[in-house]
Amino acid sequence: MSTLAFTARPGIRGLAAAVVVALLAVGLPTGAARAQQTSAEFFEKFNPGQQAYQKRDFAGALKAGKDARAVAKSAFEKKTALTLIYVAAAQLRNYADAIEAGEALLATEGVPTSDKLTYHKSLAQMYGATNHFDKAILEYKQYLAGTSGTAQDYSALAQYYFAAKDCPNSLASIDRALGGGRAPDEDQLKIQMRCYFQSKQDDKLLAASEDALKRFPKKDYYTQVLRVYQDRKIDDLAIAEMLRFGFNKGWLEAEADYVKLADRALDVGTTAEAQRVLEDGIKKKQVKNADKVERLLKQAKERAAEDIKTIGQLDAEARAGKNGEADVRLGYRYYSMGQYDKAVEAINRGLSPERVARVKRTDDASMVLGICYLKLNKKAEADKAFNFAKADPRMAPAAKMWLGGA
């Protein structure tokens, strides 16, 4: 595949969004301060910052923290001042000051190991927020080295690797995140699709795209799946059923897709459908009213009008005969006209044991039958019809699409 159809990129959680920082205890009650033998000079600078922080005056707290750090002498005083700077700057999203304080805290005597793990994780988030992805990865790996690591942790690491354009490690981290049979979330699927595309793993790209379309039905994912199958030049009737799916959702956008669906509709006798498809594309300005389209639209209108006149006769003839193909074609016309109950009756009659032998493509007949059932709000019956169509390898891709996203 030469292009990736969808344009959406994964949302890198924790990068441009607010950084989640565990707010460490920064308050120093007067008694505690004396117990730790802080100097009066230090406490005079620090105490207003403590009070400002409690009042959510983070700018005031940051300034006081810096003032306290300037006069700090002992390791305890340095740690205390840096902690105030760290949490106040993080609240302000002043990542430069927060990162500098966090790195200093990691090198400060007396900082507990559990606090250092918290600093590594939040520093990773802040490095990510400032687009320093290599540093974010290093900090997150330091954090993971001291913990067992949750699915969310490895998912976050995968996003940092992806942002750093390291697909192999990003995919490996997603695999860790999905351990135990977890299903990927939408961001993880986006990463997988991008990475599989870049590494030309077409089968994995298709599987991830189909999963995304089924679980998070969106136009971008539909277009991606459609383009893959068009590139693979699968069965024309299956492509037509995929185009019908896109038209049903309002997701068609390429003129070639509108024209192909209209062409196929005219071939199988769903003439009113061909007219609707072309008129919709023209209305949305996605189909230009060029010579070919004008001819197709004129043909569709004329044949749709003729179908209205002859449908009664076709119905009588189909019922009187034993040719299942005639029943199916009659059902297609009823489907095209929006008479879904009559379409269901005709197609089911054509697929009955005594008539089905003459039906050329039972898989396609079952697809149209399933669509009619959906229009009648009979999903269980629709799924049964789609599953029957899915058993035919030619129609399986289209049936899966309708089953997953109908």
3-state secondary structure 254-313: CHHHHHHHHHHHHHHCCHHHHHHHHHHHHHCCCCCCCHHHHHHHHHHHHHHHHHHHHHHH
> Taking every pair of C-alpha atoms in the chain, what is the biggest distance, in angstroms?
106
Q: What are phi and psi of 96, to 5 degrees?
A: -60, -50
Give residue 363's pLDDT. Answer: 98
Q: Give the model's pLDDT for residue 60.
A: 97
Domains observed in the chain: 30-186 (1.25.40.10), 235-405 (1.25.40.10)
297 by Cβ neighbours in 10 Å (0-12 / 13-18 / 19+) ranks as buried
Instruction: Tell me the CA end-to-end span of the chain in Å, nearest whole number.
Output: 26
By the 8 A CB rule, do 141 and 157 touch? yes
How would you write the pLDDT of the chain (406 residues) with one tens digit per residue?
445 655 545 555 443 333 434 444 434 444 454 445 689 899 999 999 999 999 999 999 999 999 999 999 988 899 999 999 999 999 999 999 999 999 999 998 888 898 899 999 999 999 999 999 999 999 999 999 999 899 999 999 999 999 999 999 999 999 999 998 999 999 999 999 999 999 999 999 999 999 999 999 999 999 999 999 999 999 999 999 999 999 999 999 999 999 999 999 999 999 999 999 999 999 999 998 788 899 999 999 999 999 999 999 999 999 999 999 999 999 999 999 999 999 999 999 999 999 999 999 999 999 999 999 999 999 999 999 999 999 999 999 999 999 987 6
pLDDT at 27: 40
**For residue 24, what pLDDT is reported?**
43
Note the pTM of the prediction, 2 decimals: 0.83
Whole-number Cα distances in Å, 92 to 69, 95, 404: 19, 8, 45
**Which residue type occupies 178?**
L
